[in-house]
A and B are shown apart, each in its own frame.
Chain A
Amino acid sequence: MEGFLQNYGFLLVTLLQQSLLAFSLYFPLMAGQLSLASPGFYALGGYIAAIMSTAPECTPLREKLGTGIYPLEWLAAGLISGVLALVIGISALRLRGIYLALATIAFVEILRVICLNLEITGGAIGIFDIPQLFAERWSYGLIFGPLLLLTLLFVYRLENSRTGRALKAIREDELAAGAMGIHTTYYKVLAFVIGAVLAGIVGAMSAPFLNTWNARQGTFDASISYLAYVLIGGSRSMWGPLLGAVLLASLPELLRPLKDARLIINGMVLVVASIYLPQGIVGALGRLKRCVVKNTSPMGGER
């Protein structure tokens, strides 16, 4: 067990972390809004945590709180990401479809260039030697794991609530939802902010886990990875992002023996999966299940 955790601890925690990031994109998608802003908030959260852990200005705070600084970092990252998402969301969410996606790509890029040039974010080098919360890599699962469970529980409760039904209605037809008296802007912004808060917290938790934090954490490539997790896992079910993230994020590790051809295969998987699994893996499993049930039911043969 000890050896297993030594070898695969990093991978396991990465899978948990990537699943959480997939959910941060899933929330806006529940309301049919394609937002690619998650890596931006993730990077922002990480910078907040990294600065609070390393900046000399924060030394008195660190000495006073001890390890209590970490929950405070998570709180600060979530809060700041949430407020920023509120500001961006209110102005950007009147855009639809591809326009919203483009606006969020622009947000991620602008944030990246700013972080690359500010002194407080360490410029191009970034912030390193971020103090560790745990001695072992796998121990970070003790914070990512519960957060993932909480998120799953939250999504499960949300989907069967009034808010969840409102989000679903907006996804199916925004105009009709508005006509039914659903305040579409409110719910769209709400979903966007929830996703941003989650991404911010995950960023703040990841900064000590990864030990260094730089502008490469929040890039366009990351946006697309998260989108691929959700779409290939299945965007209509809460199990989709989880399954997609676990499968796709472990792919580079599984393909490690292939070395240079790794990313080539990764790209091919994206193409093939989007062609043959249009409803995602969860959707395909659902279809398969329906097929099997139909064939074994007594009525099946006669009709």
Chain B
Amino acid sequence: MYTGEYLQNILNGISIGSVYAIFALGYTLVFSILGIINFAHGAVFTLGAYLTYSLAVGHFGIGGLLADMQVPFRLSFPLSLLLGSLLSGVFGVLIERCAFRPLRLRGADPLLALVSSLGVALVTINVIQYLVGSEIYSFPSEVYGDIRPAFTFQRGDTTIVLRTVQLIIFAVNMTVLVLLRYLISCTRVGKALRAVAENSSTASLLGINVDRFILYTFFLSGFLGGMAGGLVGTSFGIAGPYFGVSYGLKGLAVIVLGGLGSIPGAVLGGMVIGLAEAFVPSDYSAYKEAVAFAYLFTMLLICPRGLLGRATIEKV
């Protein structure tokens, strides 16, 4: 492998890995608070991608019920990504209210939360399909304004192509990670969130409104999921309403690899899986989809608590 190719793979890997990281953070936040996996997270990803697309491009799509309907305004790409993610966050809150809260209040079997969150995912994805159809969308390059679509570095006979989208993705994700880190470690909200994650009944005894912080968590989770969807949509296009599902499953591999419920773990896991996928030789590129799951499976067999997960003490 040439050095150029090597560098190119690392660049691609870090770029997609950082998307995996912020997407998986959405899973991990919910898991650390409720101890369950929100299977509707993949649907939020899809929603975020479509929202960002509609706001930035100005129409809802070519197929489905909303075909040829125009959005009355067009936002710049950063604004539409932000607004799309915020709306996805609101949707996350809605998911909590419909699929998780009723079960929690009844003290139901946690397995049922899997089914209900999947039910929500099924509804969401099919409503999206109903509204905008199942065509493949890609973002036209003019949404980024006057920025060049790619930078090419050439030295001797090695060429490295750095797509602007990759740079944007990386910059956005790093900003989000830093802000999230600040929110969780340095603010009162973050402190309360950590307390709820540690032990929700004790937190509630100490006067923390647990229910409200669960809502905050779902908002954050939806925000991150929607943003990941918007970014992947700009980079690779939107491959129909079901494309969030495969990212949803990959996100599971990321959080297990890093350690369930661990925030730095999700970031590390995302980077590892992004890089591992980027380094799959082109002859075997068809097996790329399986790489994340191979990691997931192996990790579970060797060390189920993941790379940065905490060992849980078994209480009898």
Residues of A within 8 A of B (CB): 34, 91-92, 95, 98-99, 101-103, 105-107, 109-110, 113-114, 116-117, 175, 220-221, 224, 227-228, 231-232, 235, 260-261, 263-264, 266-271, 273-275, 278
Contacts and interface: CB of A to CB of B under 8 A. Distances in A.
B223 to A, nearest CB: 22
Main secondary structure on B side of the interface with A: helix
14 contacts: A91-B301, A95-B304, A98-B260, A99-B260, A109-B290, A109-B293, A113-B290, A231-B109, A231-B115, A260-B126, A270-B122, A274-B103, A275-B103, A278-B108
Given A92-B301, A263-B126, A269-B119, A231 B245 contact: no
Given A92-B301, A267-B120, A102 B256 contact: yes
B122 A263 contact: yes
Contacts of B286: 113, 116-117
**Which of B111, B252, B296 gathers most chain A CB within 10 Å?**
B111
B149 interface: no
B293 A264 contact: no
Contact of A271 (B37, B116, B256, B297): B116
B296 A106 contact: yes
A106 B290 CA distance: 8
Contact of A274 (B119, B297, B300, B316): B119
Q: Which secondary structure characterizes the binding site on chain A?
A: helix
Given A114-B290, A271-B120, A274-B115, 8 more contacts: A92-B301, A95-B300, A110-B290, A113-B293, A220-B245, A264-B123, A270-B116, A274-B112
A267 B115 CA distance: 9
B78 interface: no
Contact of B111 (A91, A107, A231): A231
B290 A270 contact: no
Interface string B247-273: 001001100100010000000000000
B294 interface: yes
Contacts of B260: 98-99
A18 B111 CA distance: 20
B259 to A, nearest CB: 12
B126 A110 contact: no
A221 B99 CA distance: 18
Interface of B: 36-37, 39, 98-99, 102-103, 106, 108-109, 111-116, 118-124, 126-127, 129-130, 245, 249, 252-253, 256, 260, 286-287, 289-290, 293-294, 296-297, 300-301, 304, 316
Contacts of A116: 286
Chain A CB count within 10 A is highest, among B109, B245, B260, for B109
Contacts of A260: 126, 129-130
B103 A98 contact: no
Given A92-B301, A263-B122, A278-B109, A106 B127 contact: no
A51 to B, nearest CB: 20
B290 A231 contact: no
Contacts of B304: 95, 99
Nearest to B105: A275
A261 B252 CA distance: 29
Nearest to B123: A267
B250 to A, nearest CB: 9
A41 to B, nearest CB: 16
A110 B293 contact: yes
A35 to B, nearest CB: 12
Contacts of A269: 119
Contact of A267 (B112, B113, B126, B294): B126
Nearest to B256: A102
A110 B287 CA distance: 9
A231 B112 contact: yes
Contacts of B37: 98
A114 B39 CA distance: 24
A278 B106 contact: yes
Could you say which of A106, A175, A269 has the most chain B C-beta atoms within 10 Å of its C-beta? A106
A271 B290 contact: no
A42 B170 CA distance: 41
